[in-house]
Amino acid sequence: MSKTIKVALAGAGAFGIKHLDGIKNIDGVEVVSLIGREFAKTQEVADKYGIGHVTTDLNESLALKEVDAVILCTPTQMHASQTLACLKAGKHVQVEIPLCDVYKEGQEVLRVQKETGLVAMVGHTRRFNPSHQWVNHKIKAGEFNIQQMDVQTYFFRRTNMNALGQARSWTDHLLWHHAAHTVDLFAYQCGSPIVKANAVQGPIHPTLGIAMDMSIQLKAANGAICTLSLSFNNDGPLGTYFRYIGDTGTYLARYDDLFTGKEEKIDVSQVAVSMNGIELQDREFFAAIREGREPNSSIAQVLPCYQVLHDLEQQLA
């Protein structure tokens, strides 16, 4: 594909804007349609980014012949059904993490993706952050092997709000959203499937209806282990922090930044063409479309993560 890739983006909130900012830096790609829940707010974002078509109906955008691909930054509960709608409309699709919150729905997405042969990937951004890519290169070069990963995913969200502090129309989830990042990354970095997983959770919030605290243990087939702590109750530094403990060193990854175990910053600026994980994720999506290949973080590659999440959900139930 040599022509400009025309994109529809669904979800004009905090994460949709991150994608719009990333796409501005990618040649040969144009966002031509923006879909949002509230028309006026969506139009405001579209005006800022020069997007000509605005709607509150995804199907309206899918009906546009010029649209080649769709990026979905919508509520978790809509991800699987909307991904299926995009594939059935003949559009390549990138859906933000998580692919689904019901495992059988993820299995159906993979079935339809195989049937259509279209590019379909999930926004498992940790695979693309320069910090984690740097570690991955070390592993592939045989210079580092993971013994343990220690991960903390902490937020302060005792009310239903998004990353911008705005009210949400849906409820986020520690297991199906935030744990998905680490479960997938652990298996990806180890190059080994997860063979054992355990979870415990704290009290269910009386109005949000979700656990606000959770602890997960994982073991890969190669013997590596992972401990993951998650909380929506943490009134302190927010975000996700990864400690890689290996046979030749210790590394601390904080989004796109990387440090040694002694807090010495590592230069990861040459790992990729950008220091922005979301932009790198989008670059992979569009490159896979142009090259007619399976993308990193394809539906097939990440589905085992959702099998683990499903099994953990059964334990917690």
Q: Which residue has the tokens 């592939």?
A: 140
pLDDT confidence tier of residue 2, bands split at 50, 70 and 90: low
Cα(98)–Cα(88) distance, integer angstroms: 20
pLDDT, residue 132, reads: 98
Q: What's the pTM value of the predicted model, to 2 decimals? A: 0.94
Mean pLDDT, residues 89-116: 98
The region of weakest confidence among 41-50, 66-75, 161-170 is 161-170
Mean pLDDT score across all residues of the chain = 95
pLDDT, residue 162, reads: 57
- Please return the burial class of 49, using the count of CB atoms within 10 Å of its CB with bins 0-12, 13-18 and 19+: middle
Q: What is the pLDDT of residues 121-148, one digit of tens each?
A: 999 999 999 999 999 999 999 999 999 9
> Could you report how far apart the first and last alpha carbons of the chain are, in Å?
47
Helices (H), the chain: 14-23, 39-49, 58-62, 79-88, 103-116, 130-140, 180-190, 277-291, 299-316
pLDDT, residue 158, reads: 72
pLDDT, residue 237, reads: 79
pLDDT of 224 strictly over 70: yes
pLDDT confidence tier of residue 209, bands split at 50, 70 and 90: confident
pLDDT confidence tier of residue 197, bands split at 50, 70 and 90: very high
Cα(16)–Cα(220) distance, integer angstroms: 33
Could you give the percent of the chain with pLDDT greater than 90? Answer: 88
Q: What is the pLDDT of residues 106-122, one digit of tens each?
A: 999 999 999 999 999 99
Cα(205)–Cα(225) distance, integer angstroms: 30
pLDDT of 67 strictly over 80: yes
Q: What is the pLDDT of residues 235-291, one digit of tens each?
A: 987 889 999 999 999 999 998 999 999 999 999 999 999 999 999 999 999 999 999
